[in-house]
Amino acid sequence: MKRAMSTMGWMAGLCLLAVIGIASVAAQQASTPLVTAQDLLAGLKNPTRWLTYSGDYSGQRHSPLTQVTPDNVKRLSAQWTFQAETLALNRGFEATPIAVDGVLYLTGSFNYAWALDARTGRPFWRYKRDLPNNLTYGASAPVNRGFAILGDRLFMVTLDAHLLAMDRRTGAVLWDVVLADYRVGYSATLAPLIVKDKVIVGISGGEYTTRGFIDAYDPQTGKRIWRTNTIPGAGEPGSETWPNVEAAMRGGGGTWMTGTYDPEQNLLFWGTGNPNPDYYGSDRQGDNLYTCALLALDADTGQLKWHFQFTPHDLHDWDANHVPVLGEVAIGPDGGQPRKVVMMANRNGFFYVIDRTNGKLLLGKPFGEQRWARELDANGRPIVLNVTGEKECIPDAHGSTNFQPPSYDPKRGLFFVNTRETCAAYFPAKQDLIPGLASVGGGVRRVSDRNTYGALRAIDPRTGNRAWEFRYPSPTLAGVMSTASGLVFAGDHEGNFTAYDALKGKPLWHYPTGSSIWGAAPMTYMLDGRQHVLITAGNTLVSFALPKD
């Protein structure tokens, strides 16, 4: 374990800490109750808090708040903005802030981080990690998707594949542990997930000769408690889906998006990424488990309970690094008894409803307009169509959707997801596989502009049918949030932040942020009797609320 030192101002060392008004935030937090495991289980029941990446363990990103409604949302106005000094080309913020009793904790590109006054956006403290100059995956995707919080500690992963524990009052680093060797292609970009007494994290780097994993760490000491590899070792179940050990051990399967948790079953649900190389599969014949899959893991031990693979032997970089959404759904148009399910709109163009107690497919139906596979067999395997030329319409490598979070409104029974419509051609090519160098195995390009657009879609998970859609001029990677008042908030590639009627899809209000909203999703909280709605766009965080009456 490597222990980093915190410093005031700009100073040399492993980390650089700039502090503004530490005394004020420390005083404010001294009387604030610590965040407990029970608080995390309660999720969004405390309206002043947003304690996890998705708001709660379900991944629904559905707020119980009702102050902002379809009738008054047109009065929503910007209250403050926070402008980060970091620059990440074409990306910017992808994090969801943690909100705790009047303070926001936010991470940015290149492992910057801030504590902000939730009333004004004023920084209390600022942190910047001193990153090495020879980053691999972290250099091409220098993003971070947020903190986790427990007690008085924040937890953040880094582009050089470390996990940090930080004092939330000051931003000082309390411990610093290595997840993997960044020099061979590993990185870490997700928001950790706290489950009971463990910090759960995943790893990035599937475009390199890496082997994905999910880890659990002790929040007090940083000691690793368990590790589950997403690529099976020799003789382990699933190893028969790889041609040899060499292909498997550099087989990818990154775990770079935050999962969800079912306390009743004590199960973690986590998506896995593409096999390596991305497009060239001749040297990795087989289904390549457990890539492009959903894993259900025992939260105490990391033991794999079941898996569901969405795209066997993927050749299109269609990761399953989506947020798994938990709910109870009565499958079929005639209803019946609700089933405990996990829902995913997958990059491959299919929407899935899976029994989360056993991993059995309950429903699988296209939610996009792709024509590479129009149905699934009884086991959920795509039945690929043999089409070429103008009839071919394979989603590009970003897929029919990507890592941007969806939302689920359990009262209205609708799943909301920003969808991408593209047609692309893939060109596989054999290449040398060298540790530390990307090995995608070919390329991809768009083949038709006439089929290229984006859409916010509402899906009925009982049937897989589309309830409504709102189209954008171009595909988007922006996330979604819904509220109990009947609103859906979503961004788009052009930088518009829009509120929609949840039942009809009618746009009711929008705000032009001036920057593309890439990967970021909205969040909301109550403060001083007012509901704030936040979105990040480019390098700016904007807070909205209704006018004071």
- Report the candidate in 402, 342, 346 with the shortest Cα–Cα distance to residue 372: 346
Q: What are phi and psi of 488, to 5 degrees?
A: -125, 125
Per DSSP, helices labelled H in 356-418 are none
The pair of three-digit structure tokens given for residue 533, joined into one six-digit string: 């709605």
**DSSP per-residue string spanning 172-196:** -EEEEEE-S-GGGT-B--SPPEEET
Q: Return the structure tokens found at 94.
A: 């992808």
| Residue 192: other Cβ atoms inside 10 A | 29
Distance CA 117, CA 114 (A): 10
Residues 6+ apart with CB under 8 A from 517: 476, 477, 478, 491, 492, 493, 495, 497, 535, 536, 537
| Tokens at 316, concatenated | 């299109």
Rounded Cα gap, residues 299 and 195, in angstroms: 7
CA distance 91 to 81: 18
Residue 184 phi, psi dihedral angles, 5° rounding = -100, 0
**If you write DSSP's letter for every residue of 60-115 in order, what string do you get?**
--EE---SS-TTTGGG-EEEEEEE-S---TT-------EEETTEEEEE-GGGEEEE
Q: Amino acid identity of 114?
A: W
Cα separations in angstroms, 335 against 344, 355, 411, 460, 461: 20, 15, 14, 12, 11
Among the listed residues 39, 117, 319, 396, the single catalytic one is 319
- Are residues 452 and 35 in contact, defined by beta-carbon separation less than 8 angstroms? no
- Please tell me whether residue 25 adopts helix, strand or coil conformation: helix
262 as an active site residue: the answer is no
Cα torsion for 43, 44, 47, 48, to the nearest 10°? Answer: 50
Select from 497, 491, 505, 524 the least CA-distant residue to 404: 491
Give all strands (DSSP E) within 385-518, no chain letters.
407-409, 414-428, 442-459, 466-472, 480-483, 487-491, 496-501, 507-512
**Which residues are CB-neighbours of 516 under 8 A, at least 6 positions away?**
90, 92, 493, 494, 495, 537, 538
Cite the active site residues.
319
